[in-house]
A and B are shown apart, each in its own frame.
Chain A
């Protein structure tokens, strides 16, 4: 498999790209979608960790 002159990637990269404004919105949505569950997991785990020093 090689990247040659006929490679479609070289023909039209970015043809499906959203506009800059939409990209900004997607950045916020994307990081929120993964950030919120991660924070939930961290908080729940820290609550467990506290028992190491109190329980």
Chain B
């Protein structure tokens, strides 16, 4: 049906797009912008693999419409860090075994960014609560919790 003109910032770059009203944000990012780091795992807002930041807040992109994003600023995992300039969380996820198959990893990273933004020094229970919108089947969450704790301890929480 109707196309909508969108103007937004994705990973620091201005994006102009024309999207149909029923396009999910996750589809827009993956299929239109080829940002496939954002994953689809359940399509019911449970697994959190599609988590991205909208104006700095973590949200599930499968529970958002692209048309809602006009004028907003989006960060996906691709905007978090690059080789040579990885985000401290990315580095710690690697070093602490915060990932195995890697499919849930982008979503966990985005949730962790939001968590540490609000609570730079979380205890383990707070970390686990902050991850309650994400599912991982490989790590048993231990490596993920360890990675977030060590990132916070290194003073990268804020």
Are A and B physically bound partners? no
